[in-house]
Amino acid sequence: MRVTQSMLSSNMLRNLNTSYSKMSKYQNMLDSGSKISRPSDDPVVAVKGMGYRIDLDKNQQYQRNLREANTWLDTTDESLDQVGAALKRVKELIIQAATDTTTTDDRQKINAEMKQIKEQLRDIANTKVGENYIFSGTHTNQPLYTDSTGPQNPAITPAGGQKTIDINVFDGISMNVNTPGADLFNDIDGFMTNINTLLQSGAPAAEIGDTLGLQTTSGGTTIPGLDGIYESTLTVRADVGARQNRVELMENRLGIQEVNVTKQLSVNEDTDYAKTITDMVTQDSIHQAALSVGAKIIQQTLVDFIR
């Protein structure tokens, strides 16, 4: 087979172009810090990278969900703390009203404060996070009470008012962020209404004590109805606290997962600079050798061919 000058030239140009392409690839890897610049460079790396990025996107969404959950739970816990403080004050006022030394006028003053506490408790029942009412179950656009002095909102159905709002916090894992408070605040409001009615009637100390079942022992003064409501409030608050702890655990878990997935993504796609620089220097040496040999083989002029 006769090897012509054009065949030598074509082969040389083709090989030089291949060499330039390889050097360009290594240069791009060093510039971008990534093994690939397009999926066709390495389909396996590209597909794995897409999977890792999907995992990171989901992780970030779960973290946003947990921040929202924290906002709801922190607000709920703070509101229940205010309820507990208000109930303690109610107990102090009842004990004071049931004392024989308290005059009728004093009881009316106590009743006036009781009315304000009742309104305050209704305001707490209508606590919002953003535009959402946190104690109204799934009726987040409806306040639990229509106004500070009005009745419980009839638009809140028993079914919806007791439902929880769940959000995803991990793959296949969800948790409720709200605390349906219709029953709790209805009990509180009913008790406060009875107290207001009793004090408004001008009942004497003995009648107040008997009606409310007030008992004084060595362990302190007990008011069964009020103490039961206070215990219910503590139970609800304990549940909120447990969910806050779980949110913290999930945040730690998501943080660990984010680090692991980011590391896997880096191993999958990031350039190994030491290896890439070595490969590029090697390819440059090969390229320079090819240029040198090609310059000797390829005859540049007719005179060189004749000689």
Distance CA 177, CA 247 (A): 10
Say yes or no: 14 and 55 in one domain.
no
Q: Looking at the domain assignment, is residue 180 inside a domain?
A: yes
Q: Are strands 128-129 and 132-133 parallel, antiparallel or unpaired?
A: antiparallel
pLDDT recorded at residue 122: 92
Residue 40 lies in a domain: no
Average pLDDT of the residues in 166-188: 91
Tell me if 160 sits within 8 A of 142, measured CB to CB. Answer: no
Percentage of the chain lying above the pLDDT 90 cut: 47
Question: What pLDDT is stored for residue 76 in this prediction?
Answer: 96
Please indicate, yes or no, if residue 38 is contained in any of the structural domains: no
Q: Are residues 9 and 88 in the same domain?
A: no
Domain-located, residue 39: no
Whether residue 17 sits in one domain with residue 158: no
Give the pLDDT of residue 3: 56
Tens of pLDDT, residues 129-138? 999 999 998 8
Tens of pLDDT, residue by residue over 115-130, are 999 999 999 999 999 9
4: enclosing H helix or E strand: none
d(CA 175, CA 164): 9
Residue 251 lies in a domain: yes
DSSP structure string for 198-267 = HHHTT--HHHHHHHHT-EEETTEEE-HHHHHHHHHHHHHHHHHHHHHHHHHHHHHHHHHHHHHHHHHHHH
Higher pLDDT, 55 or 27: 55
- Do 26 and 111 lie in one domain? The reply is no
The identity of residue 183, as a single letter, is D
The CATH number given to whatever domain includes residue 80 is 1.20.1330.10
| Domain-terminating residue out of 265, 282, 297 | 265
Alpha helices in 98-213 (DSSP H): 104-125, 158-161, 182-200, 205-212
Q: Give residue 146's pLDDT.
A: 81
Q: Are residues 108 and 199 in the same domain?
A: yes
If asked whether residues 67 and 90 sit together in one domain, one would say yes
61 in any annotated domain = yes
Amino acid 70: pLDDT: 94
User: The tokens of 95 are what?
Assistant: 């004990």
- Residue 117 CA to residue 194 CA, distance in Å, equals 13
Quick one: 185 and 281 in the same domain? no
Q: What is the mean pLDDT of the chain?
A: 85
* Residue-number span of the structural domain to which 22 is assigned: 5-33+273-306
Q: Let me know whether 182 and 146 are in one domain.
A: yes
User: What's the pLDDT band for 287 if we cut at 50, 70, 90?
Assistant: confident
pTM above 0.85, yes or no: no
Same domain, 75 and 10: no
216 with 79, same domain: the answer is yes
Residue 223 falls within a domain, yes or no? yes
The answer as to whether 43 is a domain residue is no
CB 128 within 8 A of CB 134: yes
Q: How many domains in the chain?
A: 2
Which residues partner with 215 through β-bridges? 222
The pLDDT, as a whole number, for residue 78 is 96
Average pLDDT estimate for 230-249: 95
CA distance to 35, 36, 49, 143, 260, per residue, from 56 (Å): 20, 20, 11, 37, 10
The confidence score (pLDDT) of residue 304 equals 55
Residues 147 and 192 in one domain: yes
Same domain membership, residue 227 and residue 132: yes
Average pLDDT over residues 94-105: 89
